[in-house]
Amino acid sequence: MWRDLVKRYPGLEPRRILEDLIETHGSKGKWFAAAKTARFLDIALECAAHYDAAPATLIRAARDLKLKEPVFALQIALHAIRHLVEGRGYEPTPLDIDEAVGNLMVAAARLDAVDQARQALRRTAGSALSAGPMTERLVRNIAALGAAGWDG
């Protein structure tokens, strides 16, 4: 929809079109992909934090950008992990946690921020409302990071 409107109205600022779409259509998390594609990473981060952002979409974005945009990928991976631990997503599996943590740690290593990433993972696991399978898998990932030498 956003791309079509940008093409249809070349005189309008693409960022403004996206902001208007988010405001009028709601479901802020659903606009993550459009914001990322448009390279409005600040808007994409806001969308990723929203409860209706799809963890699978966030995990793919973190995977695709962990080397080129590690700051963004790190933040997106953390949002994906939080959403998964909070029970969001379409048919998520514990493997989604594994992939998100892997993307997070690659981005963190590129930024020399491994310790900060591990602390953020611990905070996310500690703030979980229940010890469901996603939280348990996250805790296992955190333990494995220490055993694998991801000490920073």
What does the domain layout of the chain look like in residue ranges?
A: 1-43, 54-152
Taking only the tens place, the pLDDT of each residue in 52-105 is 999 999 999 999 999 999 999 999 999 999 999 998 888 999 999 999 999 999
What letter would DSSP give residue 68?
T
| DSSP assignment of 86-127 | TT-SSS--HHHHHHHHHHHHHHHHHTT-HHHHHHHHHHHHHT
Q: Report the pLDDT value the prediction gives residue 71, as an integer from 0 to 100.
A: 97
Taking only the tens place, the pLDDT of each residue in 104-134 is 999 999 999 999 999 999 999 988 766 789 9
Q: What angle do CA 137, 142, 147 make, to 5 degrees?
A: 120
| pTM of this structure | 0.89
CB-based burial label for 72 (10 Å; 0-12, 13-18, 19+): buried
pLDDT at 148 over 70: no
Taking only the tens place, the pLDDT of each residue in 13-62 is 889 988 998 998 878 888 999 999 999 999 999 999 999 999 999 999 99
Taking only the tens place, the pLDDT of each residue in 5-24 is 878 878 888 899 889 989 98
Q: Up-side HSE of residue 14: CA atoms within 13 Å toward CB?
A: 15
Rounded Cα–Cα distance for residues 15 and 129 (Å):
36
- Under the banding of pLDDT at 50, 70 and 90, the label for residue 152 is very low
